[in-house]
C-alpha cells in the first residue's frame, strides 16, 4: 500500500517530527563564528547580527516584492505603541536612514497615526494620557510626525471638523463619547465587541487617511496575530474575506492597507524589539487578562500559539494556505449599483445566497427554532423558504419608506426590529452575526444609517419596477 498511514502511531510519529536538537551553546548557522543568541523554528540558531540582517532583508523584500509603493509616496503608519508596530516603525526609520552602499534606501514619507482607544477599555484619563504621551515621545525619538485621534470619532460622518494637531494631543470631550460607550455597552458578546472594534477602527483609519490625504496605510499585525485572525475569520463566517483580512494588501475601503510585518512570527518580533531597543507601552485590549475562552479571537490565538511552540511550521502552513485563497469578486471600482452589494461594515462583497447555501439553511433553522416549541413557522416561510431570506424584509420596510421624508434621514428608527432586519440585508454574513449582538444599532455612525435607508428604499423601488418589466 502506497499511502497507508498507521493511524495509531500517527500522533507519536508527528510528535517526533521536530527533533529536539541539542542547541545549547550553539554557533550561528549563518556565519559559523559567533555564539548564537536567537533560535528560530526550534532548529536554526543565529547570532544577533545575522538575525538582524535576515530580518531587515525580510522586511524590505515584503514591501518591495508587492510593488505597492511609488517613489516618495506618503504613507501613514498605524502605530499602536505595541511591540509589533513599534518594530515596524523602527525598521522603517532604519531603512530610511540606511547608508550602506550596496543597498538602496527605502524611499517613502512616513507619518505616524495612533488611535486612542482608552474610552472603551475603561482606562482613566491619566492612563490614556500616559499612553498618548508615550506615543508622542516615541514619534519624536524616531523623528516622525504623529497624529493622534480618539476612537470615538469613528462615529463621526467625516473628520472635516476634527481638530487634528500634529505632534500634540489633548483628550477632549466630544459629542460622540457617550454614544460610543453606549454602543459598546450594548454589545453582548466579546467576540462581537472585538469584531465591531476592528471594523470601526478600520473606518476611522480610512477617514483619517482621507483627511490627511494619504492613500496608503501600513498596519503592524505580525504573522502570529494574522494566523489567529485567519482561523477566527473562518469561525466567524468570514471565509470569503480571508484574502483581504490576511493578505499583504487590502483595498476594500479605497484606502490601501498594507501589512509589512506579516512575514514575522511573534518570536521574531520580540527579538527584533529587543535588539532594536523598541520600547513598548502595555496595551490592554478588550480580552486582556481574560481566559482563553473569552472570545473566538482569543481562543484561536491561544490555539495557534500553543501549537506553534511544539510545531514551528504551524504559522507558515496557515499562511501558505491563506496566500492561495483569493476573493472571488474582482477588485472592481464599484459603481453606484455595485456598491449596493458591498457590506456596509467591512466593505466586502455580500455573497448572493443561492438555493442551497449554508446561510439559507442556517436562516431557515433559526426561524424554526425561534418560533418556539408550540409555535408554527409562518406559512410564508413554508411556501417560500428562500424568499423569506431576502425579500420579505424589504416588503416590511415598504410602509416605512412611504412615510419617510426624502431628506435621507434614517426613517427606520421607529422600531428596533425594523432596523435589525434592514441591517441584515446590507451586511455580509460575518457582520450580520456581529450586528445581531449589537443591541442598539441606532448608535452606529450616521452615514451607515443613511446608507441603510437609501439602500432599502432603492431595493423597494427596484422591486416595484420589476413587476412592470417583461
Partner 1 sequence: MNSELEITLNFSGGAELLFGKIKLHTVKLPSQETWCMKKLLVWIKENLLKERPELFLQGGTVRPGILVLVNNADWELVGQLDYNLQNKDEIVFISTLHGG
Number of residues that bind partner 1 (CB under 8 A): 40
C-alpha cell at 9: 502511531
**Please, what's the b/e burial string for 263-273 (b: 16 or more CB within 10 A of its CB; e: otherwise)?**
bbbbbbbbbbb
**Interactions with partner 1, residue window 38-77 (CB under 8 A):** 38-39, 42, 45, 48
User: Considering only 251-259, 286-294, 336-344, 417-425, which stretch makes contact with partner 1 by CB under 8 A?
Assistant: 286-294
The number of beta carbons lying within 10 Å of the beta carbon of residue 380 is 11
- List C-alpha distances in Å: 56 to 35, 207, 248, 298: 20, 31, 17, 30
Ordered alpha helix ranges (H), 290-350: 296-310, 314-324, 336-339
- Minimal distance, residue 6 CB to partner 1, in Å: 29
Please identify, using beta-carbon distances, which residue of 25 and 161 lies nearer to partner 1.
Answer: 25
Binding mask 221-260 for partner 1 (x = CB under 8 A): ---xx--x--------------------------------
Which has the closest alpha carbon to 410: 426, 432, 389?
A: 426
Please identify, using beta-carbon distances, which residue of 81 and 110 lies nearer to partner 1.
Answer: 81
- Minimal distance, residue 308 CB to partner 1, in Å: 7
**Which position among 69, 151, 269, 428 is part of the footprint of partner 1 (CB under 8 A)?**
269
**Which position among 59, 184, 257, 271 is part of the footprint of partner 1 (CB under 8 A)?**
271
Asked if 283 interacts with partner 1 (CB under 8 A), we say yes
Give CA–CA dist 345/432, Å, rounded: 9
User: Considering only 6-14, 36-44, 322-330, 383-391, which stretch makes contact with partner 1 by CB under 8 A?
Assistant: 36-44
User: Considering only 232-240, 244-252, 282-290, 415-423, which stretch makes contact with partner 1 by CB under 8 A?
Assistant: 282-290
**Interactions with partner 1, residue window 196-225 (CB under 8 A):** 224-225
- Minimal distance, residue 37 CB to partner 1, in Å: 4
Binding mask 309-348 for partner 1 (x = CB under 8 A): x---------------------------------------
**Spatial strand order in the sheet of 249-250:** 146-150, 108-116, 73-78, 216-218, 256-258, 249-250
C-alpha cell at 210: 482621507
CA 449 to chain centre: 22
Asked if 287 interacts with partner 1 (CB under 8 A), we say yes
The number of beta carbons lying within 10 Å of the beta carbon of residue 399 is 11
C-alpha cell at 81: 505603541
Amino acid at each position: 500500500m502506497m499511502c497507508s498511514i498507521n493511524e495509531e502511531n500517527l500522533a507519536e510519529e508527528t510528535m517526533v517530527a521536530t527533533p529536539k536538537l541539542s542547541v545549547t551553546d550553539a554557533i550561528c548557522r549563518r556565519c559559523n563564528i559567533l555564539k548564537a543568541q536567537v533560535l528560530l523554528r526550534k532548529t536554526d540558531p543565529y547570532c544577533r547580527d545575522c538575525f538582524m540582517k535576515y530580518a531587515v532583508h525580510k522586511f524590505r523584500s515584503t514591501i518591495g516584492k508587492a510593488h505597492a509603493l511609488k517613489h516618495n509616496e506618503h504613507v501613514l503608519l498605524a502605530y499602536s505603541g505595541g511591540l509589533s508596530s513599534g518594530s515596524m516603525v523602527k525598521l522603517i526609520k532604519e531603512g530610511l536612514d540606511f547608508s550602506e552602499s550596496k543597498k538602496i534606501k527605502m524611499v517613502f514619507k512616513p507619518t505616524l497615526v495612533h488611535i486612542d482607544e482608552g474610552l472603551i477599555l475603561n482606562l482613566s484619563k491619566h492612563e490614556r494620557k500616559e499612553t498618548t504621551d508615550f506615543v508622542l515621545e516615541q514619534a519624536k525619538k524616531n523623528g516622525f510626525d504623529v497624529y493622534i485621534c480618539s476612537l470615538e470619532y469613528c462615529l463621526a460622518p467625516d473628520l472635516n471638523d476634527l481638530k487634528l494637531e500634529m505632534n500634540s494631543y489633548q483628550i477632549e470631550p466630544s459629542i460622540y463619547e457617550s454614544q460610543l460607550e453606549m454602543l459598546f455597552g450594548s454589545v453582548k458578546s466579546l467576540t462581537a465587541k472585538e469584531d465591531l472594534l476592528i471594523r470601526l477602527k478600520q473606518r476611522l483609519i480610512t477617514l483619517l487617511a482621507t483627511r490627511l490625504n494619504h492613500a496608503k496605510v501600513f498596519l503592524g499585525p505580525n504573522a502570529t496575530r494574522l494566523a489567529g485572525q485567519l482561523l477566527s475569520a473562518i469561525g466567524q463566517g468570514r471565509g470569503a474575506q480571508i484574502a483581504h483580512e490576511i493578505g499583504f494588501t487590502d483595498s476594500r475601503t479605497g484606502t490601501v492597507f498594507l501589512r509589512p510585518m506579516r512575514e514575522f512570527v511573534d518570536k521574531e518580533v520580540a527579538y527584533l524589539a529587543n535588539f532594536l531597543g523598541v520600547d513598548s507601552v502595555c496595551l490592554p485590549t478588550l480580552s486582556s487578562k481574560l481566559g482563553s475562552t473569552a472570545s473566538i479571537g482569543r481562543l484561536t490565538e491561544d490555539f495557534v500559539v500553543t501549537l506553534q511552540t511544539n510545531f514551528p511550521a504551524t504559522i507558515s502552513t496557515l499562511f501558505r494556505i491563506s496566500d492561495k485563497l483569493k476573493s472571488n469578486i474582482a477588485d472592481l471600482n464599484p459603481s453606484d449599483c455595485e456598491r449596493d452589494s458591498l457590506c456596509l461594515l467591512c466593505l466586502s462583497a455580500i455573497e448572493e445566497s443561492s438555493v442551497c447555501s449554508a446561510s439559507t439553511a442556517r436562516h431557515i433553522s433559526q426561524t424554526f427554532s425561534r418560533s418556539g416549541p408550540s409555535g408554527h413557522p409562518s406559512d410564508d416561510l413554508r411556501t417560500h423558504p428562500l424568499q423569506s431570506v431576502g425579500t420579505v424584509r424589504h416588503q416590511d420596510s415598504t410602509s416605512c419608506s412611504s412615510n419617510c421624508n426624502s431628506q435621507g434621514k434614517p426613517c427606520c428608527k421607529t422600531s428596533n426590529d425594523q432596523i435589525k432586519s434592514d441591517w441584515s440585508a446590507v451586511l455580509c454574513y460575518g457582520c450580520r452575526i456581529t450586528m445581531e449582538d449589537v443591541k442598539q444599532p441606532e448608535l452606529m455612525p450616521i452615514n451607515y444609517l443613511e446608507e441603510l435607508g437609501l439602500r432599502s428604499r432603492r431595493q423597494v423601488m427596484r422591486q416595484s419596477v420589476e413587476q412592470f418589466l417583461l
